[in-house]
Amino acid sequence: MSARWAAAVLLVLCNRALAEHPCANEVASACNERPAADIGACLKNPEDHDAPTDISSECTDFMALNKGCAEDIESHCDGNHFHDDTILCLTKWTPAENLGEKCTKVLKWAVPAAPEGEDSLITDELGMSEKDYEEKKEWQKKRREARGDAIDRIAMKKADARKEEDRVALEEYQKADPEGYAAMIQQQEEEKKQQAAFKKQERARAAALERKKKKDEGIEDENDKPKDDGSAGRGKPKKKSSWLYSIMSFVIIAGIGGLIYVFVSSPKGGAQGNRQKQSGGGKKKR
């Protein structure tokens, strides 16, 4: 139990020691804000140092590692020279058979030896623990994201550069030959119209083929159905209202006729009629 605990403590200390690369202090003091590929040359030449700096023996070995494995770092470690993951990439994340002969030789003496007891934590034949695999996956993820962002930026820069070149060329052409520029613009407009008309024809042809296909399959097309615009529905109420108008007219006329009949046949009306008849008869007797 005590042996495992000691191994775990040593592993933690080792990880803390490897959290920064062996030249981290020297780079911060002498060659801060230098490109990664230029740090080695800067550390080697004291005249390039930002401040007087002593190079430790561990940093000297790490400088030799970056120089001897420069090509392998570029191809397998995404160019991470003097990086915290440089040693991990070369020793854990990259298969040994993929490294160059020179880099393999340098690794044997330039990389700090693993502390005793760490072998008990190795999980596979490649000498990688679960933590190593997790770190490698995280590094690969960051590498893919950085590469994708870099590709997108390069593509955008190229597209912007082409647009700027085309714009400048058009301005120069417009100044040099205004008539030719106007003719070119007119031609472009005509081509746009032709393309729009061609696309319209293609859509119509595709729609006709689709309708024919549905017809051959016995499927009724929605566009072929008679459209119910409400005209038939509006006609029915008109017909109904005309019949209603006729009936109402008949009722009104019948009512007026009934009133006249009642008025004529009333006693007052009859008496008046009799008096008229008597007066008329008396005149005849005279």
Confidence band, pLDDT 50/70/90 cuts, at residue 229? low
| Residue 75 covered by a domain | yes
| Residue 245 covered by a domain | no
Out of 107-121, 180-194, 243-257, least confident range? 107-121
More confident residue, 16 or 256: 256
Confidence band, pLDDT 50/70/90 cuts, at residue 10? very low
**Do both 131 and 187 map to the same domain?**
yes
**Do both 88 and 176 map to the same domain?**
no
| Residue 216 covered by a domain | no
Residue-wise pLDDT tens digits, 264-281: 776 554 455 455 445 544
Last residue of a domain, one of 57, 87, 121: 121
Residue-wise pLDDT tens digits, 92-131: 888 888 999 999 999 888 886 655 444 444 444 455 667 7
| pLDDT, mean of residues 231-250 | 62
Q: Model-level pTM?
A: 0.38
**Do both 64 and 116 map to the same domain?**
yes
| Residue 269 covered by a domain | no
Last residue of a domain, one of 202, 222, 248: 202
| Residue 172 covered by a domain | yes
| pLDDT, mean of residues 230-249 | 61
* Cβ atoms of 104 and 96 closer than 8 Å: yes
| pLDDT, mean of residues 121-145 | 64
**Do both 192 and 104 map to the same domain?**
no
Query: Could you identify the residue written with the tokens 């008869």?
Result: 281
**Do both 33 and 101 map to the same domain?**
yes
**Do both 115 and 133 map to the same domain?**
no
Residue 194, domain extent: 123-202
At 27 the pLDDT is: 92
**Do both 104 and 137 map to the same domain?**
no
**Do both 75 and 42 map to the same domain?**
yes
Last residue of a domain, one of 121, 143, 166: 121
Based on the structure, what is the number of domains in the chain?
2
| Residue 259 covered by a domain | no
Residue-wise pLDDT tens digits, 29-45: 999 888 888 999 999 99
| pLDDT, mean of residues 2-25 | 52
